[in-house]
Structure formats: structure tokens, C-alpha cells
Amino acid sequence: MNADFDRRFLMDWLTEEDPLRLADLWRMADTSRRENVGEDVHLRGLLEISNFCIRQCAYCGLRAPNMQLQRYRMTEEEIMECARKAWKLGCGTLVLQGGEDPGLTRKAVGAVVRRIKEETPLAVTLSLGERLFDDLAHWRRAGADRYFIRFETSDTELYRRIHPSLPSRSSARLAILEALKELGYETGSGIMIGIPGQHVHSLVEDLLLFRSLDLDMIGVGPYLPHPETPLGRTGAPSPQSFSDQVLNSETMVYKVMALSRLLCPEANIPVTTGLATLNREGGYEQGLQRGGNVIMPGITPLHFGRNYEIYPGKVRFLEITSAVEEIKKRIRSIGRTVGSGPGERQRHVQGTLPGRVSLE
């Protein structure tokens, strides 16, 4: 493994614009996906259990100072009802996501995780932000299988700029990822693509970090400006900002997904809701053909979900049963199969990039 070669390889692909050449990248990623994780597409029901948040992330609609949101926190019974629904819909995993909400106490989350594990065959993924080691350990003992926390960007200066107040350091998130592994969680992380001020060379470092962290799950999505946030008020990133500003484009998301697949061949890689929001008609299909092997249908009841507005226009379903049936149809329409069971990470090979591909 040669770090300089890997950096050059990643940089070449991230800056490639010729669709004909990019077709080679999509092909390589799709082949790697097929060989390493097969044809199954796993469904993970995404349940947004609370929109309370103590953080002030400059990009996120859930940030504490946003007074436009009606805040909610689901009860154990409401969560259990959705868990049973996810199981009935054919999801193998339930993802419990929320703002960083101290009202989601160690005890309350532990109790609901224990019940889900006792009363359903679902795997449980938690995505509840930066929590204490003792919380994470308690939830693991209660039966939680996976934890997902994005490091957002490996550029420490950019990270600091978009996470004002509170002791919010990217190194804290990296330490949490290490702690999660120690606790035996399957561990997931990811980034936003197209944050104003994000350079292409920092995307290269993000991708290499995915590999060195040996992630089990990698979730990457476009940065989408939210008008009620300080960063959102500055608008979308533009090529005029500076020469290697990363754009929050659909193509850039596919490039990062495809390169993630090459670097981490066995990882579970979802087609994120952010990508499906950019392209409602074909985002799922194209994401699945460019490295992805997971879809996370949102199963939050609409009266809660409409207040979980991390960015505007997020894909939401009015009627969840028919929406999931439609997703299954779309999976089959591209010759893939709908996975059953928890769809945990399989371990067969180590991630190395394929041989140099001439871009000349």
C-alpha cells in the first residue's frame, strides 16, 4: 500500500469530469460491491426518535438555537410500535437516530433497546451523537448492535468552524469511534459532501480515514443548506468560492460512494436520504449501482418527522407501507435482491485499491 499513489488515485477520480471515464469508476465500484457484499440490498428502517439537540452545528436544522422547530421526543411505546412496523415491512435493522438529546437518558434508551431485542429479530443501530462511554457501554449490554456517528470532515479547521461552542472536536468523534469498537459495536461513520470551505484534498483524507478506521458502515451525503442555520444563510458552495471547493453535487456523492467501496470493499454503504433528496427519480438506483448496498427508508410517523428537518425538502413518505413496497420494486428493477436478516458486515478481505488506472 503506497500512500502517495493512493492519494493521487483518489484525487484523480475526485476531479475527473468526463462521464465516459467516470463510467469506469462506476463499473469498478459495482464489481467490487458484487464480489464483496453480493446482490442483496439491506433495508434499515430509519426512526427519528427525538429532535431535541444541545449542539449548535452551523449547518443543521436541529441546532439548539433554531426556534422554528416544534420539538418532540418519542415514548417507548411509540418507538416499539414503529419497531414492529419495521419488522413487518421486511427491514432487518432498526436505526434509532436523534439530536444530541440528554432527555434520551442512558436508562430510557437502554430499556427500549432491550425491548426491541426481546420482542423482535431486528438488529439495532443507534445514532445519537457524542455520548459518554458509560452510555455507549450500557446500550451495548442492552443489545445494541451498531453505532453510527459521522466525523463530517477530517479537516480539523473546517470542523472547528462549523461546530461552534461546546467542546466539539473532531478528535472527540474519532475517540468515540475507537471506544465503540472496543465495546464490540459494528461501527459506522461518514461525511457531508460540499460543505462551504471543504477542499477536494480534504475529501482524499476523509476517504483514507474511512479505510484506516476499518469502518463497518459508511454513510456519505450532500451538504444541503438549511435557511435557519448560519451556514445555510451563506448559500450553497459554488465553484467560484475557491478552485478546489467540493461541490454538493450528485456526481460528487457518487464518486465518494464508489471510492469508499474500493477502499472498504466489505462495508455496508447506504444510498443516503440526502442523495435520494437530490435525485428522487433515480438516486436510489444509481447509488446502488455505484457502490451502495443499503437503503434506509424513513419510518418516522409524519407528525414527528416533519419536525426532524435537518435540511429542507428531505424525502418523506406519506404512506410508509406502499413506499417500502415501491423501494423493493426499484431494487428488483435493477436486478438486485432485497436482503433479509440483519445484514451485518461480513469479513473476507482487506481494502486495497485496484491497480493504477490510466487517466491519460
Shorter beta-carbon distance to ligand SAM: residue 276 or 353: 276
User: CA torsion sign, 52 to 55 to 57 to 63?
Assistant: positive
Shorter beta-carbon distance to ligand SAM: residue 132 or 357: 132
User: CA torsion sign, 100 to 105 to 110 to 115?
Assistant: negative
Minimum distance, C-beta of residue 318 to ligand SAM, in the bound complex (Å): 22
Minimum distance, C-beta of residue 332 to ligand SAM, in the bound complex (Å): 29
Shorter beta-carbon distance to ligand SAM: residue 83 or 162: 162
Minimum distance, C-beta of residue 143 to ligand SAM, in the bound complex (Å): 20
Minimum distance, C-beta of residue 148 to ligand SAM, in the bound complex (Å): 7
Type and span of the H or E element at 117: helix 106-119
Minimum distance, C-beta of residue 100 to ligand SAM, in the bound complex (Å): 5
In this structure, what C-alpha cell is assigned to residue 259? 471510492
Nearest Cα residue to 207 out of 251, 155, 248, 273 = 155
Minimum distance, C-beta of residue 274 to ligand SAM, in the bound complex (Å): 5
Minimum distance, C-beta of residue 50 to ligand SAM, in the bound complex (Å): 9
Binding site for ligand SAM (CB under 6 A): 59-60, 62, 97, 99-100, 127, 129, 149-150, 152, 192, 221, 223-224, 226, 274, 310-311
Shorter beta-carbon distance to ligand SAM: residue 42 or 150: 150
| Rounded Cα–Cα distance for residues 236 and 198 (Å) | 12
Please enumerate in sequence order all residues whose Cβ is within 8 A of that of 120, keeping only pairs 6 or more positions apart, or say none.
83, 84, 86, 87, 94
**Cβ pair 268, 294 in contact under 8 A:** yes
**Cβ pair 71, 51 in contact under 8 A:** yes
Q: Report the interhelical angle of 250-263 vs 19-37 (nearest 10°).
A: 40
| Rounded Cα–Cα distance for residues 318 and 315 (Å) | 10
Shorter beta-carbon distance to ligand SAM: residue 26 or 148: 148
Shorter beta-carbon distance to ligand SAM: residue 123 or 275: 275
| Rounded Cα–Cα distance for residues 31 and 256 (Å) | 16
| Rounded Cα–Cα distance for residues 249 and 98 (Å) | 26
Shorter beta-carbon distance to ligand SAM: residue 32 or 187: 187
